[in-house]
Amino acid sequence: MSRRALYLACAAGIGFVALFAATRWSDTHTGAALAEPALTGERIARGAYLAKMGDCAACHSVPGKPPFSGGLRMETPIGALFTSNITPDRRYGIGNYTLADFDRALRYGVAAGHTLYPAMPYSAYSITRPEDVAALYAYFKQGVAAAAVPNRDSEIIFPLSMRWPLTVWRWLYAPTPRPFAAPPGMDRQLARGAYLVQGLGHCGDCHTARGVSLQVRALGPADGPAYLGGASVDGWHAPSLRNGGAATIGAWSEADIAQFLTGGANRHGSAFGSMSDVIVNSTAHLTDDDARAAARFLKSLPDTGGRAYRYDPAASLALRRGDADARGARLYLDNCAACHRPDGKGYERVFPPLAGNPVVATATAESLIRIVLAGAQTPRTAAAPAQFAMPAFAWRLSNQEVADVVTFIRTSWGNDASPVEVRAVGRLRETAGRNTPP
């Protein structure tokens, strides 16, 4: 080895050691000392509501195990990881956490001396106000039953399993935690909605696209139109929550949005996929005031792209005349029209409309294809106790037939989305279900 190469190797080694030491220092010194709060009944009850708002159960509770004892399998590009036990158990949970420890994990993304995987939405939670952090802490310390359930190790192989690179990720992409403060002049209801949606609601973690390093590209309106502009998540497409063209919720009123959040359906559509779990575990428990505040904030987000939807009766009139020559039209009549009607308007809060539905109009048809293949079920909530199901058609329709019927839906009644290719259906069939009859 030449002297120059030796110098470079030594410099690289020293640099690596310095970087590693810096990550260890950061992980052990992040956060602030906080005084322990009084664990009053009022504070615990407030924390219970905030835990629902933050949808903590969705990730930290799994069927067959005690609430919040963790164990949910989460697939990542580098392997599977499992959510942790956040009950007050002293051995496996957070029973030994101080308020400062809890705050460090929630808002800074650091626990047990290392940075958490960004599957924990600490970037969104970073704006949580101190009084709400204290209420959540009180709830998880006193309002949740301790469960001695061991945590599962991740299935990420070495060297990708090393945790110190996550600290570098946090330095690069996680915001400095600061309690939410409304911009000057923002009215109280809009400010409340901004706090809920951007913070504990962490809507952006699914509805905002991610960058090449899996970071959420925008954490709030100030970061540009990517915020809540729609994104692909686990084979589904979370639609845009902005207001503009047919692929957005521009046609939804504030009342429509509030109704959807608390009941899982409105006159424009129904929840599906993981959003059904969000409705049941989280937004269905919002107070009327908070649901309206969230709706008010979402309606404040403009989107200038795309054309506005306008109903076109041509497809409906053709079907009534017995003209089913359009691609997928006969398949639609045979399999879909009984529930969604030949005019594509469905039955409000029972079978969702396909005409003008933003999920139908998105650039990618992945959600619509998955629903056809695997079926769907409306969430059951206090606001919508009746539950309706759509059967899976993977066992009945070929890839070509699914592509044809989805193309018909995406190009009829004024919908103006692109046709669907057969290979797109084939890719999704592998994960959405093969040919098993219901």
340 marked ligand binding residue: yes
59 marked ligand binding residue: yes
29 marked ligand binding residue: no
* Nearest of 151, 132, 239 to residue 195 by alpha carbon: 132
207 marked ligand binding residue: yes
10 marked ligand binding residue: no
Known binding residues are 56, 59-60, 203, 206-207, 336, 339-340
Known binding residues for heme c are 56, 59-60, 203, 206-207, 336, 339-340
